[in-house]
Structure formats: structure tokens, C-alpha cells
Copies of this chain bind each other. A is one copy, B any other.
Amino acid sequence: MDYFSGYISALVEQLSHLPGIGPKTAQRLAFYIISQPAEKAERLASSILDARRNVRYCKNCCTLTDEELCPVCSNPKRDKKTIMVVETPRDQAAYEKTGKYGGVYHVLHGAISPMLGIGPDDIRLKELMARLSGDVDEVIIATNSSLEGETTAMYISRLIKPTGIRVTRIASGVPVGGDLENIDEVTLLRALEGRRQL
């Protein structure tokens, strides 16, 4: 990176620390940022600082938010007796986009992964269990259908079952609009196992 001036090299280096941004993309982004009007670069910089400084975990569901309680938890119309457990705020956002889920969430910020050394204490599981002492009807486990997600789902369901609260898992199967021929075998078998009478 010595071909560039010090400031450009520094920016390229900082950008290439971001996930999925390699040195070539970082270079492209850096030159774009430099070529933009100064106020655009300033807006980008201050949005980074504002977000990092002001965003915190929701006291209730652990998602990322500006306030003590996130918009979902503080919405009186949401059904507080139904908790959907997700791995990340992005997964929560995916369900919020559907506009059809009326319950609340719990964000684990990760999944149990013996491979990566991530145990039950490394995700927001204690916080979930604490919530269950309140008035809860159902916990819907919506972790990913990866190995880690399934392990986490299994672990949580075993933990909750003794409390008598209903524990469910979102269905896995063929995505809507998916061509069968392009779908992996594991998913095809899951879809078969999970078949329902019409």
C-alpha cells in the first residue's frame, strides 16, 4: 500500500478490517470516499461515531437499540407472552420485515458452537431464562438451521421444558419458490420429515 499517500493507505487499511472487505474493495471504497464532497465523508464518519456511541442493548430482549427498551419491547400492542429467540438483530429484522409476527424477541448474539469454543454462557441465555419467570406462554426458537443453530435450539428447549412453558421451533423445508432440483439433500429430507396432511 506504499504506492498511495499516507492518509489514503491509512483509510484503505481501516476499511479492509471490515468483514468481507478485501484490500481491492477497500481501495475502491477509499478512492470513492475521497472523491465525494467533503460533507458526504463527514456524514459517513459521524454516522459511525453516533451509532457506536449511542447504540446499546435493550434491557429486556438484548437487541441493539437507542433507548433503554427497543421499539418492539416498548410497543404496548406486542404480545409479551410470546418470545421468539433469534441469533442476531439481523435475524430479528428479517422477521420484523414480514410484518406478521406480533410477539416479542430475545436476541442471543450468537449460537452455541463447541468448535469455536462458544458455550451457553457466551450468549444471552441467562437473560432469556430470567424473562421466563414472568408471564410467558410460548418460546419460539428461530435460530438458524445450521449445526450451531440446531445445537442451540436443542439446548434451550431442554432448559425450558421443565418450566412447563411451550417451546416450539420454526419449520425447516423447501423455501417458497425454490426449485427442488437446486436444493440440498438435507433440506429435502427435512421437508419430507416435516410434511403435513392437506
Contacts and interface: CB of A to CB of B under 8 A. Distances in A.
Interface of A: 3-8, 10-11, 13-15, 17-21, 25, 27-34, 36, 38, 40-55, 64-67, 70-71, 88-90, 92-93, 96-97
B97 A14 contact: no
Copies in the complex: 2
A43 B16 CA distance: 13
B51 A10 contact: yes
Nearest to A41: B52
Contacts of A46: 45
B32 A18 contact: yes
A92 to B, nearest CB: 7
B11 A50 contact: yes
A14 B67 contact: no
Contacts of A88: 31
26 contacts: A3-B97, A4-B64, A5-B55, A5-B65, A5-B71, A7-B47, A7-B50, A7-B55, A8-B51, A8-B55, A10-B47, A14-B43, A14-B44, A15-B44, A18-B29, A18-B32, A20-B25, A20-B29, A21-B29, A30-B51, A31-B90, A33-B51, A34-B51, A34-B64, A41-B52, A42-B52
A25 B53 CA distance: 21
A13 B13 CA distance: 22
Does more than half of chain A's interface fall in helix, strand or loop, or is it mixed? Answer: helix
A50 B52 CA distance: 19
Nearest to A58: B5
B55 A34 contact: yes
B64 A5 contact: yes
Contact of A51 (B11, B40, B67): B11
A112 B88 CA distance: 46
Contacts of A33: 18, 48, 51-52
